[in-house]
Amino acid sequence: MLVFSWSLVALLLVSSSLAEEDVATMEEDMSRELSVGELLERANRDRNPDLDEPILIEGDIAIKSEADRNADPCTSRNCLWRKWTNGKVYIPYYIANHYSSREISIITRGLESFSSMSCIHFRPYQNGDNEWLSIESRDGCYSYVGRQGGAQTVSLSRQGCLYHSTVQHELLHALGFNHEQTRSDRDSYISVQWENIIDGMAYNFNKIATLNQGTPYDYNSVMQYERYAFSKNGRATMVPIPNSNVSFGQATQMSKNDIDRLNRLYQC
């Protein structure tokens, strides 16, 4: 009977492990099929923010009040994280304890990807830190743009936000970057189809002075939304020009230009 009991326990453990692997594989397959913009839009679609949740613009950019909708670029308010004398930018982070070990591994993989490509180093929060990223599963996927001071929320909901592309996307917001399609030179590369945009959502396509750092417009940026973003009728809201057949908004990780402009902004 004891042998049978141990065999049953072993079988249950193996089944549980296989189930977790199946979930991971299923989510990886989903991320390959959906662009980062689609993942974000799906995760934030049914968002029902309460008083503790920030206002979101452009789908996933958090702002503290309506007055911030047309705020100046974050560099005008000293939004960059501190660079140390050794040339590194150390950004403390805290991961809330409601994530599973597998979910934490997805988040840490995204955090660690920056140190291999730039001078940005995310490190665990320590007592005495006065500003840090607080990574939590709140209502949807979102981040503030640039350093805010104090505990700065980056929301990566367990319901749809835990993919490598979305982690990198939200961290780039926290580092000071906006969406590619809001670049001031956008109209030379993207034609916005205003008539197809959901009523009341046109502001999400306003152009702003983004931190392009002399890099070209990048259809493959992890910050570029896909062509049907905020569509009310299933038709494209963005069409590339002059070649309307160019693929864009399909990134699953940071592009070379994303990395280049990050390194230029922080003078890595």
* Residue 179 annotated in ligand binding: yes
* Residue 164 annotated in ligand binding: no
Q: Is the pLDDT of residue 197 over 90?
A: yes
Mean of the pLDDT values across residues 173-193? 93
The strand pairing partners of 89, in sequence order, are: 120
* Residue 98 annotated in ligand binding: no
Q: Which two tokens stand for residue 143?
A: 């981040």
Q: Is the pLDDT of residue 9 over 60?
A: no
**Contacts of 44 by beta carbon, 8 Å cutoff, 6+ apart:** 56, 59, 60, 140, 141, 142
How far apart CA 112 and CA 123 sit, in angstroms, is 9
Residue 3 binned pLDDT confidence (cut-offs 50, 70, 90) = very low
Residue 36 binned pLDDT confidence (cut-offs 50, 70, 90) = confident
Q: Is the pLDDT of residue 257 over 50?
A: yes
Q: Which two tokens stand for residue 210?
A: 């983004």
38 given a catalytic annotation: no
Domains of the chain, first to last: 36-178+260-266 (3.40.390.10)
pLDDT over 70, % of the chain = 82
In the prediction, which pLDDT does 12 show?
41
Can you tell me which residue has the tokens 């936000």?
Answer: 161
How far apart CA 134 and CA 128 sit, in angstroms, is 15
Pick the catalytic residue from 38, 41, 103, 170: 170
Residue 242, preceding bond cis, omega within 30 degrees? yes
